[in-house]
Amino acid sequence: MTQVDVPVIAPDRPVQHLDHNYINHSKGILSWLLTLDHKRIGLMYLAGISASFFLGGLFAMAIRLELFAPGMQFMSAEQYNQVFTLHGAVMVFLFIIPGIPAALGNVVLPLMLGAKDVAFPRLNLGSFYLWISGAGFFVYTLLTKGLDTGWTFYTPYSTTGNNTAVISATFGVFLLGFSSIFTGLNFLVTIHKMRPPGMTWHKLPLFLWGMYGTAIMQILATPVLGITLLLLIMESTLGIGIFDPNKGGDPVLYQHFFWFYSHPAVYIMILPAMAVISEVIAAFSRKHIFGYRMIAYSSVSIALLSFLVWGHHMFVSSESTLATLIFSAITFSIAIPSAIKVFNWLATLYKGSVALNTPMLYALEFIWLFTIGGLTGLFLAVLSTDVALHDTYFVVAHFHYVMVGGTLFAFFAGLHYWWPKMTGKMYSETSSRLGSIVAFIGFNLAFFPQFIMGSRGMPRRYADYKPDFELFHQLSSVGTAILGVGLAIVAYSLVRSLFSGKKAPANPWGSATIEWECPSPPPHHNFDHPPAATDPYDMERVEWNEEVGGYVPVQGYRPVVHH
Amino acid sequence: MSDHGHGDKPFLAHHFEDEDHQFDSGKLGIWAFLVTEVLFFSGLFCAYAIYRSMHPDVFQYAAQALDTKLGAINTSVLILSSLTAAWAVRNAQLGQKKALCLNLAITIACAFGFMGIKYLEYSHKIHLGIIPGNSTEQYLDGAFGEPKAEQVAFVVPQEGEGEEQHAAGGEHADDAAHAEGGGQDHAHELAPWNDPAVDGIQKQNLAIFFAIYYCMTGLHGIHVLLGIVVLVWLLSRALRGHFTPTYYGPIDFAALYWHLVDLIWIYLFPLLYLIN
Amino acid sequence: MTATDHAAHGDHHEDHHALPLWMLVGTWGALMGLTLLTVFSAQFDLGAFDLPIAMGIATIKAMLVLLIFMHLGFDKGFHSLLIFGSLLFVFLFISFTLMDRGQYQGDITVKDSEKLLSD
């Protein structure tokens, strides 16, 4: 290992840039494909999930074009079934679940700990290749076969008829599941064992608390998905009969198995998003996060409670009355930790000196969208209303508000927040802000009308509809187009920054977490010595320095001791 | 690997402070992995629990097709291999290279023995036509229509009114009764699978028992095979003298995995073979 | 690391201490004995006690393997928390599913009999 050429550090001004960083540390395609460096693996994930997001987005556009007018436009009903299935499966398994933990988490998590790498770098690379193979099976299914079961692969539909597509797709999901498990396992051990001196559990940045909760769910829930899909493959190939009512099996059992994973998976999607938002809100309010411990504990309690609510997906799937009552009651209780987070973010904003940079815009949009998504979830937790709303566009709008409005917007918040650290370049605030606002408007226009038509009885997954719903569908389609334009502006702004963005300082936003103490982009080994950890939200610790165009640590600063 | 740069400690990765740090991290990692394994198998245990609680009679009936003796021998083989795995960890901690290699070799031998016996059991069942899944028709018309049916002494508990139907079932019932010959206290009627008196739903449930049997033991078997791969790799490293009293993590972690495979079998054995 | 270093770190390193041989062999003996016991007890029809007895013996065996062979009895408490905590989730999974299935089994039985009647 050659020593990284660190210039002598001037006491009042830490190194801002290094000529020799992790991006140009070694050259050649193999130095990326075989890298054990968590930052490079994170960037490769970022490229992969961006491609998946683009693919899933194309399917979304196709759905909205087809639904622009009543009657069939350019697809057959079978093609429509395949397109919405692939949209859901690609977005959920290839983009949302790995999005924040694998792409952003991989880059940021060890940096935040002041560590040189994750605990198991080879396993980390292995997770990436599992992800690639899983994605490969998906693309193969997409190109050669029609998968039309919906992303949930419900039996008996998935085990009868043309099910070779189900086999290759579920095997892909099986591999993606193990990718997710190993990422979670890696992060859990890293957070436990690689913390720097002085970073006690109560000085852990909230992003790491969120990743910790996510890791718990990935470790405990995802294996059940693995065995469920294995049984589904056995059912499709051999006909073992466990899920097949024609052979004395029970198709509802499949739903129990599937949702025991997939409900926690919903929180695998949203918990990292909340974790990003906690960081961004604090950094751009220039204020200590409000209710640190409540936010931290609510992450873990969401992780644990998420295992107790899976039955609320099955209220109308012949679930017994006793079980529906229990699951409905517990579902309400999971709103509490989510609300705790929202209130604490609002309290952090209160009297903060709020800077509306791009990440902050996304974070504020997140609060708006997630609150709508979360509150409409309560309508679905009520047994009586769920019977009417189940399988309508109300459900579609609800989970898009949570999964897209929540996770996607938080992903962009995190991407813009850490972009200078990851790439060493500043993007144009003007174009990025514009993209963010256009996407926000487009998103609301696309999905708010779906609440209305859902409550009026428009069923989901239908290729055709009555003319009464035409206006809402057209608003929704126009909104999707605007959302697409917004995302294109976002992508343009980020890509342009790679070529013509100005060099990023080490700490452009004034955050107090450790990852901003190393230069942008970081060197191969991140830190020469593990930095001492302090309160991650003590914003007084850093001050603006005109010369470097960023924030630098205050010399001789002594933190105020809180009692 | 260029990333291993701690001079005299060839197996200490660059991002750990010292060997203890690396060992502790690895140990936490393997325990978290074992947790995922427990959850992975839990789906099968859940399916088992549901179908057994719904059809206890079917499970009791079908389990007699499994050979308790072979199951017990396999249990002993796995327990012995667990002992040698634990012993190998002790050898590694004390730096006893020869004993370490010997114990690893015995563990691998036991694993092969286990798979060998498993192979005998599977092939016997497949010979009888008990194939995982497949259509129920083939199940019944194939193997159990043959005289071999008598080798699979099944008992169907029949309610009172079932007996008249049985008389119509004729000699098949008698054959099976002859083969079974067990000392059941209950007035159980004996019937082969193709007996018309056994209703279609019972037949389906029998197939589900074997489906669960194959899934559980099959997945366990896959874990044994993976264990063999890992243990052979460790044996080759042990022969090259890689392990020292301060660096023996891989042996410890593989042994933990191996014990978990044993643990799962400890539950599978009474659940599948010992239903009376 | 030298022996004195080792001692100085004290209880951080309890898992580096090798277990005595008699303990390993004794555990093996106990496991074999319990295996014989469970096979033996399965010869008798104890009615409702069959399953609890078989599971009880299996659990004793499992604890022996966990605590001694897997060193959990001498290891960090967090590892025990992990593995026993995971069993809690397994319990939740199986018990909720079993409860629900038990509740709607009646409907299935009715459907089955209808199907039989119509055949």
DSSP C65-117: IIIIIT-GGGS-HHHHHHHHHHHHHHHHHHHHHHHHHHHHHHHHHHHHHHHHH
Is the CB of B3 inside 8 Å of chain A's CB atoms?
A: yes
Same domain membership, residue C71 and residue C16: yes
Q: The domain containing residue C89 runs over which residues?
A: 76-119
Closest chain C residue by Cα to residue A259: C93
Q: How far is B194 from chain A (nearest CA, A)?
A: 16
A521 upstream amide cis, omega within 30 of 0: yes
CATH number at residue A461: 1.20.210.10
Q: Does C107 touch chain A (CB under 8 A)?
A: yes
Tokens of C19: 């277990």
Torsion of CA A191, A197, A199, A200, to 10 degrees: 90
Distance (Å, whole) CA A225 – CA A231? 10
Whether A8 is covered by a domain: the verdict is no
Is there a contact between B204 and A247 if contact means CB atoms under 8 Å apart? yes
Provide the domain count of chain C: 2
Whether residue A18 lies inside any domain: the answer is no
For residue A430, the one-letter residue type is T
Same domain flag for C48 and C2: yes
Q: CB–CB of A401/A370 below 8 Å?
A: yes
Amino acid at B140: L
From chain C, the residues in CB contact with B28 under 8 A are: 78-79
- Among A29, A49, A179, A165, smallest CA distance to A103 is for A49
| Cβ contact C103–A322 (<8 Å) | yes
CA–CA distance, B85 with B94 (Å, rounded to integer): 14
**Where residue B6 falls among pLDDT bands split at 50, 70, 90?**
low
pTM: 0.89
| Residue C88 shares a structural domain with residue C69 | no
Domain shared by C68 and C80, yes or no:
no
Residue A25, in any domain of the structure: no
**Within a 10 A sphere around the Cβ of A563, how many other Cβ atoms?**
3
- Per DSSP, the three-state class of A162 is coil
| Residue A530 in domain | yes
* Inter-chain CB pairs, B–C, below 8 Å: 135
Using one digit for the tens of pLDDT, what is the confidence trace for A488-510? Answer: 999 999 999 999 999 999 999 99
**The token pair that represents A112 in the structure block:** 């935040």
At residue B188 the predicted structure's pLDDT band, cuts being 50, 70 and 90, is: very low
**Rounded CA gap, A539 and A393, in Å?**
44
Q: Angle CA(B263)–CA(B268)–CA(B272) in degrees, nearest 5?
A: 165
What average pLDDT does the segment C98-114 reach? 79
Lowest-pLDDT choice from A440-454, B247-261, C47-61: C47-61
Q: How many other C-beta atoms lie within 10 A of the C-beta of residue A154?
A: 18
Is A32 part of any domain? no
Cα–Cα distance list, A82 to A72, A138, C51 (Å) = 15, 13, 47
Residue of A231, A237, A262 to mutate when probing chain B, most B C-beta within 10 A: A231
pLDDT for A393 equals: 96
Which of C37, C60, C70, C100 is the best substitution to test chain B (most B C-beta atoms within 10 A)?
C70
**Alpha carbon distance, N-terminus to C-terminus of chain A:** 45
Cβ contact (<8 Å) for B39 and A1?
no
ipTM of the complex: 0.92
Model confidence pLDDT, tens digit, residues C77-93? 999 999 999 999 999 99
**Domain span at A522:** 38-552
Q: How far is Cα B252 from Cα B26, in angstroms, rounded to an integer? A: 10
User: Tell me, what's the pLDDT at A149?
Assistant: 85
CA B79, CA A251: separation in Å to the nearest integer?
A: 37
Nearest to C50 among B72, B263, B276 (CB): B276
Phi/psi of residue A392, each to 5°? -110, 175
CA distance A544 to A554: 9
Q: How many residues does chain B have?
A: 276
What angle do helix axes A321-333 and A335-349 make, rounded to 10 degrees?
10
Which one-letter DSSP state was computed for residue A425? B
* Residues C95, C115 within the same domain: yes
Q: What per-residue string of b and e applies to A86-100 under the rule 16 or more CB within 10 Å gives b? A: bbbbbbbbbbbbbbb
Give the DSSP letter of residue B109.
Answer: H
Residue pair A72/A464 in contact by the 8 Å Cβ criterion: yes
Phi and psi at B155, nearest 5°, equal -120, 125
pLDDT band at B174 (very low <50, low <70, confident <90, very high): very low
d(CA A235, CA A514): 50
Helix (H, G, I), strand (E, B) or coil at A248: coil
Number of domains in chain A: 1
Question: What H or E segment, with its residue span, contains residue B68?
Answer: helix B68-94
- Whether the pLDDT of residue B243 is over 60: the answer is yes
Best mutation target among B35, B64, B247, B272 (most C Cβ atoms within 10 Å) is: B35
pLDDT for res B201: 67
Of C10, A123, A531, C87, the closest CA to residue B25 belongs to A123
Q: Is A61 helix (H, G, I), strand (E, B) or coil?
A: helix
Q: Is residue C54 within 8 Å of residue B3, measured between CB atoms?
A: no
The contacts of residue A405 (CB under 8 Å, 6+ apart) are A365, A366, A368, A369, A370, A372, A373, A443, A447
Looking at residue A163, what is its pLDDT?
Answer: 66
Residue A155: partners with Cβ closer than 8 Å, 6 or more residues away: A232, A235, A243, A244, A251, A254
Whether B150 shows a pLDDT value over 70: the answer reads: no
Same-domain pairing of C27 and C8: yes
First to last CA, chain B: 56
Give B154-168 pLDDT, tens digit per residue. 444 444 333 333 333
Domains and CATH numbers, chain B: 19-154+193-273 (1.20.120.80)
Query: Under 8 Å CB-to-CB from B14, ≥6 apart: which residues?
Result: A1, A116, A117, A525, B3, B4, B5, B6
φ and ψ at residue B20, rounded to 5 degrees = -65, -40
Of B2, B204, B215, the CB nearest to A234: B215
Residue B162, pLDDT score: 37
- Surface-to-core class of residue B244, CB atoms within 10 Å of its CB (0-12 exposed, 13-18 middle, 19+ buried): middle
Decide if A257 and B3 are in contact by the 8 Å CB cutoff.
Answer: no
Give all chains having 3 or more CB-to-CB distances under 8 Å with chain C: A, B
Contact B50 C70 (CB under 8 A): no
Written as six digits, the tokens of A248 are 């004395």
Summary mean pLDDT of chain B? 78
Are the CB atoms for A275 and A269 separated by under 8 Å? no
Nearest CA of chain C to the CA of A8: how many Å? 34
Whether C97 has its CB under 8 Å from any CB of chain A: the answer is yes
Q: Which residues of C touch A320 (CB under 8 A)?
A: 99-100, 103-104
Residue B156 parent element (H or E): strand B155-156
Q: C88 and C71, same structural domain?
A: no
Tokens of B51: 């179908």
In this predicted model, what pLDDT tens digit does every residue of B17-33 receive, in sequence order? 888 999 999 999 999 99
Kindly tell me if the per-residue pLDDT of B175 is higher than 50: no
Distance CA A518, CA A507 (A): 8
Chains contacting B (3 or more CB pairs within 8 Å): A, C
Cα A417 to Cα A509: distance, rounded to the nearest angstrom:
8
The residue count for chain C? 119
Residue type, B173: A
The predicted-structure confidence for B59-106, as pLDDT tens digits, reads as follows 887 787 788 899 999 999 999 999 999 999 999 999 999 999 999 999
Cα(A274)–Cα(A364) distance, rounded to whole angstroms?
A: 12
What are the pLDDT digits (tens) for B129-142? 777 765 444 444 43
* Model confidence at B109: pLDDT above 60: yes
**Cβ-nearest to B53 among C38, C89, C102:** C102
> Nearest-CA neighbor of B124 among B67, B57, B52?
B67
Q: Is residue C42 domain-shared with residue C92, that is, in the same domain?
A: no
Distance (Å, whole) CA A498 – CA A427: 8
Residue B17 tokens read as: 């402070």
- CA A396, CA B110: separation in Å to the nearest integer? 54
What b-and-e string marks burial along A313-327, b requiring 16 or more CB atoms within 10 Å of the CB?
bbbebebbeebbebb
The answer to whether residue B254 scores a pLDDT higher than 80 is: yes
Residues C39 and C92 in one domain: no
Residue A504 structure tokens = 């990023």
Q: CA–CA separation, A476 vs A465, rounded Å?
A: 14
Is residue A15 assigned to a domain? no
Reading chain A (563 residues) residue by residue, the pLDDT tens digits are: 444 444 444 455 678 888 888 988 888 889 999 999 999 999 999 999 999 999 999 999 999 999 999 999 899 998 999 999 999 999 999 999 999 999 999 999 999 999 999 999 999 999 999 999 999 998 898 878 788 888 888 888 888 766 678 889 999 999 999 999 999 999 999 999 999 888 999 999 999 999 999 999 999 999 999 999 999 998 888 888 888 887 778 888 999 999 999 999 999 999 999 999 999 999 999 999 999 999 999 999 999 999 999 999 999 888 888 999 999 999 999 999 999 999 999 999 999 999 999 999 999 999 999 999 999 999 999 999 999 999 999 999 999 999 999 999 999 999 999 999 999 999 999 999 999 999 999 999 999 999 999 999 999 999 999 999 999 999 999 999 999 999 999 999 999 999 999 999 999 999 999 999 889 899 998 988 778 888 899 998 899 988 888 998 888 787 766 55
Asked if residues A11 and A553 have their Cβ atoms less than 8 Å apart, the reply is no
In this structure, how many other beta carbons lie within 10 angstroms of the beta carbon of residue B27?
A: 21
| Residues 6+ positions from A345 with CB-CB distance below 8 Å | A277, A278, A281, A290, A363, A367
> In terms of domains, do C89 and C66 share one?
no
Q: What DSSP string describes A326-390?
A: HHHHHHHHTHHHHHHHHHHHHHHHTT------HHHHHHHHHHHHHHHHHHHHHHHHSHHHHHHHT
Residue B206 tokens, joined: 């029998």
Q: Given CB atoms, is B35 within the 8 Å cutoff of chain A?
A: yes
Q: How far is CA A433 from CA A282, A437, A447, B133, in A?
A: 19, 6, 21, 57
pLDDT at B133: 63
A2 in helix, strand or coil?
A: coil
Do residues C69 and C112 share a domain? no
pLDDT at A18: 83
B97-127 vs B249-268: helix axis angle to the nearest 10?
30
Please tell me the total number of residues recorded for chain A in this structure.
563
Question: Which of B34, B83, B186 is the best residue to mutate to test the C interface, defined by the most C CB atoms within 10 Å of its own CB?
Answer: B83
Does C85 share its domain with C67? Answer: no
Is the residue at A463 inside a domain? yes
Q: Are the beta carbons of C88 and B42 closer than 8 angstroms?
A: no
How large a percentage of chain B has pLDDT more than 90? 53
